[in-house]
Amino acid sequence: MSMSPQHVQEHMMTYLESTECQIIEKSPFHVTVKLSPQADKQLTNRPYYWGFVERTGVEPETLSFTFVFDPEQYDKNEQTHTDPQSQPQQDGILSRYFGTAPMVPRIGPGRIQREDVTYGSSRLQQIWNAARQDGSALYLFEQPAALQRETLFSAAYEPWLGVCFKAEMACDVKKEELHFVGISLVSGRIVSHFPERLKGLTMSPRLPENIHIQPASISLSQAAGSLESYMTRLLAEMDYGWAEQARERLSEELAVIDIYYEDLLKEPDEEKLVGIREQYGNRRSETTWQYEPKVHLSAITCGLFHLRSAR
Amino acid sequence: MNTSQISGSGQSQDLPVPLHIDRSWLEQLNNRLEKGGPWGDWRLAQLAIQGEEARLVTSFDELQCLKHLQGLSPLPHQLDTAHKVLFEMSGRAILADEVGLGKTIEAGMILKEYMIRGLVSKVLILVPASLVLQWVRELSSKFGIPAVAQKKAYTWHSDVVVASIDTAKRDPHKEFLLKQEYDMLIIDEAHKLKNKKTTNYQFIQKLRKKYCLLLTATPVQNDMSELFNLITLLKPGQLGRQGDFATNFVVGKRQPKNQDQLKDELAKVMIRNRRGEGPVHFTKRNVSNVSLQLSPEEQALYDGVTAFVKDQYKASGGNLSSMLSLVTLQREVCSSRDAVFLTLVNLSKKIPDESPLTAKVWELVTAIKAIKANTKAEKTIELIKQMNEKVIVFTEYRATQEYLLQYFQTHGLICVPYRGGMNRGKKDWMMDLFRGRAQVMIATEAGGEGINLQFCHHMINFDLPWNPMRVEQRIGRVHRLGQQKDVQIYNLSTSGTIEEHILHLLHEKINMFEMVIGGLDVILERFEKQESLEKSLYKLFLESDSNDEIRQKVSTLGQTLDQIKRQVDYESETVREEEA
């Protein structure tokens, strides 16, 4: 899957807004932003500066960026907007001999660095990773409609454990799957597409008024265990043709190695033989490392979701 | 990991492969519940999930890296190669494309793909010292891979390290590296690992690696066993045991047998794309040799220098090593009086005042003073004005470069210099100026890295290096992938001088200007088993008495080179890829 510039911009804006950055200017092709301290720490890789700020207590000066999502359109726009008169004058003598010399860039605070952000750029990866870090554990409540606050009866809320799992099927090649599943701590019911259960709901960390939370009948670790066995069953039902093929490749490779070392291992010189044995063992274990099929299951995010009980 | 907390946990025996479950999320969740937070932002969590979805690898065998690489449009053969290495060769291969087809691009794509798939994070790239920075730069600019050049001991801890193999194999680095596990090892100029007994070879053999790429333009330099050794480094046993290989595939030292079978076996571990095959199109090289007649004053200087150098050589009893500065003089006299002058001045400083040599040196200086014009420079201006396009002028000498800069400028040409000694920033600036306003670039350096001048298709060899590799490097600056037009090469040579013979050897005998030589380095390496070509040439000139004698000797030299070339051609046919 690739992403359009608009899509990239949406992702970037979500991050900038959630981290409370100050948006200075925005067009369909770019955004100019002064980072919040949180975003600055996550994005600019200036641990020494932030160490200095924390130790001395000075007012931090965060960096500003112009993130450009559609460089072609942005440049076109810029050109039509900038007045040629405002271009700084070149030194006549220098430019006569040396052509157009690049202007010395403005440095120091107040300088706004331009950066093109597209699907493959490391900045986008960085933002996703930062988001994963910041959104790794959640504790959320469904926000009730305005009507609920006025009714006499408090609404029953059901606690759910939701986990977004990432399954990685790896041998010498690799494939991945995401599964966002949820389990009710009251009933133990498992929902395989948890986002569908959350669809249309507004989630917030604030505890709403006039609600009560139903007591859990299963513990968090029990719930986690159930989700895990659910995932394991799901994974067990996959087609494992890929793994079989990988094992075939592995055994072929190992056979080739065995034949190669067969004669060498008859080496009469004990000292040399030690070296050959070691080499042989290393080569075999390297090959196993390369081809052996395996599945790895980890979580992107998880949390407790308090949702209004379905009647 | 805290398995104990999980009750009724699913066991991995349900799956036909080992299942690793990372339960750190539960631990984290419990921790925060105990402390009452801090809790994550729901929007960020959703963004994280969307991010994962956007880069999810949904297929085992579909190239992902291209959509991550803006501004890189790989050529069809490079794509094919990446695809084959990733999905047919399981990431262990020899990339043996001929020079200039972009092995680095192929390796970069393969590496990027593995990194995107999360199969590779720790990478070691070993290259000759002179290429370390170039690799770092290419990986970061073309592939967005944050590679680090190895400088201090701690840089070894970075995820992607580029280092020189000669540093890596020495302690204390070696000891550290042998304890590591590398997801991927890339070795550039891998033909240097042809000998099993060298420390380089043994070091690489011991390094623990999952995927491995060996890059070389010349997988076979001298004999077939080199290829066997290279493959053994990658996949021991692929060509059978050492003995089997010899009986099955080798007749003479350099002659394979059972070619078809060998090709099949090789195709499993090695990819060799060749120039002139498939969709890769190189434009033509058009060569014009411009023969010039020296003015009487210049001729006088030339004769004077030649006589002086020969006398000194005889006086030294044929000892070449003490003659180097004088040999330089002999070469410079073909370039410009300025170059000769500088060397003469330096020479006179070294001779004691009372020595009879001083008089001779001053005699030559007087001859220099008599020269009013530079025949070659005049011709060069004429050529440049005729073509009226961008052109790069190569000279071997700094003094000539300075002279030409000044001479061209007084004739209203905008020109920029380019030298090996310039720092990176200045080099880049000069390139930009040349791309922009300047019509002429005057360069003393062709080797090394970084000058890619595809936008220019005229080059003038103001003087010729005596080492054919340097000539090829010069041409390679303009005649490379991305050059849209036929390349015009002008060689200036003055008749009746050494230059004429050198040009004759390079052009007529090894035909190096027209054919695109990938194997020139191989030819030279074989020839130079006894003595370097440059040295052979010095001797030849110093020891010959007449022009005819020189001509004859040069012609013999040419024949020898030609023979080696045929041999190399024949051999490379056999390691050629089968589909070709």
pLDDT in tens, B269-291: 888 887 666 555 677 888 888 88
Residue B298 in this model has a pLDDT that exceeds 70: yes
pLDDT for A87 equals 47
Contact A294 B70 (CB under 8 A): no
Residues of B in contact with A139 (CB under 8 A): 32, 37, 39
Characterize the bridge pairing of strands A64-68 and A112-116: parallel
Q: Residue B125: what residue type?
A: I
A263 → closest Cβ in B19, B211, B241: B241
Q: Which residues contact A154 (CB under 8 A, 6 or more apart)?
A: A210, A211, A212
- In terms of Cα–Cα distance, which of B238, B227, B166, B176 is closest to B206? B176
| Residues B99 and B160: beta-carbon distance below 8 Å | no
- The mean pLDDT value for B378-385 works out to 91
Contact A97 B23 (CB under 8 A): no
Q: Which residue of A has its CA nearest to B48?
A: A132
Band of pLDDT at residue B575, cut at 50, 70 and 90: low
| Residues A129 and A192: beta-carbon distance below 8 Å | no
- In terms of Cα–Cα distance, which of B350, B396, B377, B366 is closest to B305? B366
pLDDT tens digit sequence for B517-553? 456 767 777 777 767 787 888 888 878 878 788 888 8
Q: Comparing A282-286, B9-13, B71-75, which segment has the lowest mean pLDDT? A: B9-13
Q: Which residue of A has its CA nearest to B22?
A: A298
| Residues A116 and A66: beta-carbon distance below 8 Å | no
- Higher pLDDT, residue B148 or B513: B148
Contact B17 A262 (CB under 8 A): no
pLDDT for A110 equals 62
Query: Does B175 contact chain A (CB < 8 Å)?
Result: no
Q: Residue B53: what residue type?
A: E
B15 → closest Cβ in A3, A124, A236: A236
Characterize the bridge pairing of strands A294-308 and B440-443: unpaired
Residue B187 in this model has a pLDDT that exceeds 90: yes
Closest Cα in chain A, distance from residue B24 (Å): 8
Residue B18 in this model has a pLDDT that exceeds 80: yes
pLDDT for B280 equals 59
Q: In chain B, pLDDT over 70 holds for what percent of residues?
A: 87
Closest Cα in chain B, distance from residue A55 (Å): 23
Probe site for chain B from A163, A169, A290, A304 (most B CB atoms < 10 A) = A290
* 3-state DSSP assignment of residue A292: coil
Q: Which residue of A has its CA nearest to B72?
A: A120
- In terms of Cα–Cα distance, which of B541, B559, B476 is closest to B318? B541
Q: Which residue of A has its CA nearest to B25?
A: A299
| Residues A43 and A50: beta-carbon distance below 8 Å | no
Closest Cα in chain A, distance from residue B496 (Å): 38
The whole-angstrom separation of Cα B162 and Cα B193 is 18
The whole-angstrom separation of Cα B15 and Cα B99 is 48
The whole-angstrom separation of Cα B549 and Cα A29 is 73
Residues of A in contact with B91 (CB under 8 A): 172, 290
Residue B3 in this model has a pLDDT that exceeds 50: no
What Rg value do the Cα atoms of chain B yield, rounded? 29
Q: Residue B79: what residue type?
A: L
**ipTM summary value:** 0.84
Closest Cα in chain B, distance from residue A263 (Å): 8
pLDDT for B313 equals 80
For chain B, what is the mean pLDDT? 81
Cis peptide, bond prior to residue B172, ω within 30 of zero = yes
- The mean pLDDT value for B101-124 works out to 90
How many Cβ atoms from other residues are within 10 Å of residue B562's Cβ? Answer: 14
| Residues B211 and B269: beta-carbon distance below 8 Å | no
The whole-angstrom separation of Cα A157 and Cα A176 is 34
Q: Which residue of B has its CA nearest to A296?
A: B20
The listed range with the strongest mean pLDDT (B207-216, B346-355, B474-483) is B207-216
pLDDT in tens, chain A (311 residues): 577 888 888 899 999 988 888 888 888 888 888 888 888 888 888 888 999 988 998 888 888 888 888 888 888 887 776 544 444 444 555 555 555 555 555 555 567 888 888 888 888 888 998 998 888 899 998 888 776 666 767 788 899 999 999 999 999 889 999 999 999 999 889 999 999 888 888 888 888 877 888 888 899 999 999 999 999 999 888 888 999 999 999 999 999 888 888 888 887 888 888 888 888 999 999 999 999 999 999 999 999 999 888 75
Closest Cα in chain B, distance from residue A57 (Å): 23
pLDDT for A223 equals 92
CB < 8 Å from A in window 100-139 of B: 117-119
Residues of A in contact with B24 (CB under 8 A): 298-299
Contact B37 A99 (CB under 8 A): no
Residues of A in contact with B144 (CB under 8 A): 120-122
The whole-angstrom separation of Cα A60 and Cα A36 is 10
Residue B445 in this model has a pLDDT that exceeds 80: no
Band of pLDDT at residue B514, cut at 50, 70 and 90: low
Query: Does B370 contact chain A (CB < 8 Å)?
Result: no
Q: Residue A68: what residue type?
A: V
Q: Comparing A289-293, B172-176, B353-357, B448-452, which segment has the lowest mean pLDDT? A: B448-452
The listed range with the strongest mean pLDDT (A194-208, B80-94, B470-484) is B80-94
Q: What is the pTM of this model?
A: 0.75
The whole-angstrom separation of Cα B193 and Cα B169 is 13
pLDDT for B337 equals 86
Q: What are phi and psi of B323, to 5 degrees?
A: -100, 0
pLDDT for B9 equals 41
Contact A221 B29 (CB under 8 A): no
Contact A99 B42 (CB under 8 A): no
- The mean pLDDT value for B370-392 works out to 88
Q: Which residues contact B44 (CB under 8 A, 6 or more apart)?
A: A14, A15, A18, A19, A130, A131, A134, A135
pLDDT for B519 equals 63
How many Cβ atoms from other residues are within 10 Å of residue B245's Cβ? Answer: 20
CB < 8 Å from A in window 229-268 of B: 232, 235-238, 240-241, 243
- The mean pLDDT value for B23-31 works out to 90
Residues of A in contact with B232 (CB under 8 A): 260
The whole-angstrom separation of Cα A134 and Cα A130 is 6
Q: What are phi and psi of A303, to 5 degrees?
A: 175, 170
B236 → closest Cβ in A100, A225, A260: A260
Closest Cα in chain B, distance from residue A306 (Å): 13
Q: Which residue of A has its CA nearest to B40?
A: A135
- In terms of Cα–Cα distance, which of A107, A127, A141 is closest to A11? A127
**DSSP labels, A102-118:** PPPPP-STT-EEEEE--
pLDDT for B577 equals 42
* The dihedral sign for the CA sequence B432, B433, B437, B438: negative
Probe site for chain A from B3, B11, B26, B58 (most A CB atoms < 10 A) = B26
pLDDT for B36 equals 85
A75-83 contacts: CB < 8 A, separation 24 or more? A77/A27, A77/A29
* The dihedral sign for the CA sequence A266, A270, A272, A276: positive
Strand (E) or helix (H) holding A181: strand A174-184
Closest Cα in chain A, distance from residue B530 (Å): 35
- The mean pLDDT value for B330-349 works out to 84
Unique residue bearing structure tokens 């009879």: B356
Query: Does B91 contact chain A (CB < 8 Å)?
Result: yes
The whole-angstrom separation of Cα B504 and Cα B556 is 12
Contact B39 A180 (CB under 8 A): no
pLDDT for B572 equals 62
- In terms of Cα–Cα distance, which of B277, B272, B377, B397 is closest to B329? B397
Characterize the bridge pairing of strands A203-204 and B391-394: unpaired
B119 → closest Cβ in A98, A170, A224: A170
